[in-house]
Amino acid sequence: MASGQQWVLVEMVQAFYEAPAYHLILEGILILWIIRLLFSKTYKLQERSDLTEKEKEELIEEWQPEPLVPPVSKDHPSLNYDIVTGPPSHKIIVNGKECINFASFNFLGLLDNERVKKKALASLKKYGVGTCGPRGFYGTFDVHLELEDRLAKFMRTEEAIIYSYGFATIASAIPAYSKRGDIVFVDEAACFSIQKGLQASRSFIKYFKHNDMDDLERLLKEQELEDQKNPRKARVTRRFIVVEGLYINTGDVCPLPDLVNLKYKYKVRIFLEESMSFGVLGEHGRGVTEHFGVNIDDIDLISANMENAVASVGGFCCGRSFVIDHQRLSGQGYCFSASLPPMLAAAAIEALNIMEEDPEIFTILREKCRHVHKALQGIPGLKVVGEAFTPALHLQLEKSSGSRDTDGKTLRSIVQYCLERQIALTLARYLEKEERFLPPPTIRVVVTVEQTEEEIEKAAGLIREAALTVLK
């Protein structure tokens, strides 16, 4: 036994002499580090002298907490809003003055429609005001199921799901499918609700230039090359393209046929947000898919709110049944928010009835949009931003002062000038510190079917007059 131990010791000494120098140095450093850890204290006591009671009181009196929120000027527009009394329909009472409404997204004029109000009132008497529970906890009413069925049939999809808050619809739908590690390709002009959905998903976000299909394809090709380097990871990574049908911040439409071609070429999924195009584009108001003649089955998920053309509240998603059913388990806004008040669901159903009975209303709206777009051309100092068929145009300063605040005040003066003369306009508002790509300040001009040619000409003339007065 002793000779065996002696032989092991000899082998260790021999191995020590034969080992490379860097190996010995590394082992020596590790041994020294272990010794240091064993004998060092786990923490260091902070050396300080004890304070007297008087000194403690003085320090407490001197201490000033940091403000909970950053300081905001009292003249900030969000703190000095105009007050509306009565329905914001074709004629709107702002600060006690009746004006022609060019500010509310009441595109089809259904907000004050007698048929819609009658149905909502009957539902109010039957069901009460609210639901006081999410869909999974006694918050599902028969009128909710009827609305979902009607929306699915209207959009010609297998199934639809409704949310009680329009903003939360796409903000809940995106993180229901896209998770950490997945990749989302997003247009730079995407609205704020899409941005919040992306943030909640914790996915890897790649922005492409607005409506630039070459830039999008460049990003898709780069991702394809990365996937080839790590095919095992690529097999479990989902890829999405998220766009708006009609962009609220720019007033232009997405090139949907090109997006569908890229979808099949690079094997990605398309999420289409249609809050501005639903009830507006297409022969029957079905949105940008009908506008371009694209098969709706080529789109993986369509989302829209019911707060614009439908003149109700809430939103919906539609698509294949297995896609929609997943949201009933994973859509945060669906699972945890109180369901849509039945009277608003009944109002939305009646609005769909009117849209189906009178498809000519969409042709009238497009004609009014072209009329407004043409009437606003050539205003000194202002340029029109948006397609001729969009019902929400933007007026932007041709030459910026270089200061966002100054530009905003200039445009606000134009809005105020028109408001004093009974034309209600509004500035496009943004959460400036949270927007990913902050749009420039603009005046938003909203078109509805109820506006007459005389009112459109009056509004255009007043805007021109205001621009000449303010921008002189």
pLDDT tens for 60-116 read 888 888 888 888 777 777 777 888 988 888 999 999 999 999 999 999 999 999 999
> Given pLDDT bands bounded at 50, 70 and 90, which one contains residue 52?
confident
- Out of 7-21, 73-87, 323-337, least confident range: 7-21
Tokens of 87: 């329905």
In whole angstroms, give the CA distance from residue 95 to residue 78: 16
Indicate if the pLDDT at residue 44 is higher than 80. Answer: no
Mean pLDDT value of segment 331-342 = 92
Mean pLDDT value of segment 375-403 = 93
Higher pLDDT, 48 or 219: 219
> Given pLDDT bands bounded at 50, 70 and 90, which one contains residue 11?
confident
Indicate if the pLDDT at residue 306 is higher than 70. Answer: yes
What strands lie across the sheet with 426-427, from one edge to the other? 382-385, 392-397, 442-446, 426-427
Characterize 278-300 residue by residue with b for buried, 16 or more Cβ atoms within 10 angstroms of its Cβ, and e for exposed: bbbbbeebbbbbbbbebebebbb
Token pair 């036994």 is found at 1
Mean pLDDT value of segment 125-139 = 91
Query: Which pLDDT belongs to residue 263?
Result: 95
Mean pLDDT value of segment 404-432 = 92
Indicate if the pLDDT at residue 259 is higher than 80. Answer: yes
Indicate if the pLDDT at residue 4 is higher than 60. Answer: no
Mean pLDDT value of segment 29-43 = 79
Which residues are registered as beta bridge partners of 273? 244, 303
**HSE-CB for 365 with a 13 A CA cutoff:** 29
> Given pLDDT bands bounded at 50, 70 and 90, which one contains residue 45?
low
Phi, psi (degrees; rounded to nearest 5) at 446: -105, 135
Indicate if the pLDDT at residue 318 is higher than 80. Answer: yes
Indicate if the pLDDT at residue 47 is higher than 60. Answer: no
Query: Which pLDDT belongs to residue 49?
Result: 59
Q: Please state, rounded to an integer, the average pLDDT across all residues of the chain.
A: 90
Indicate if the pLDDT at residue 253 is higher than 80. Answer: yes
Against a cut of 0.75, is the pTM above it? yes
Query: Which pLDDT belongs to residue 327?
Result: 93
Query: Which pLDDT belongs to residue 114?
Result: 94
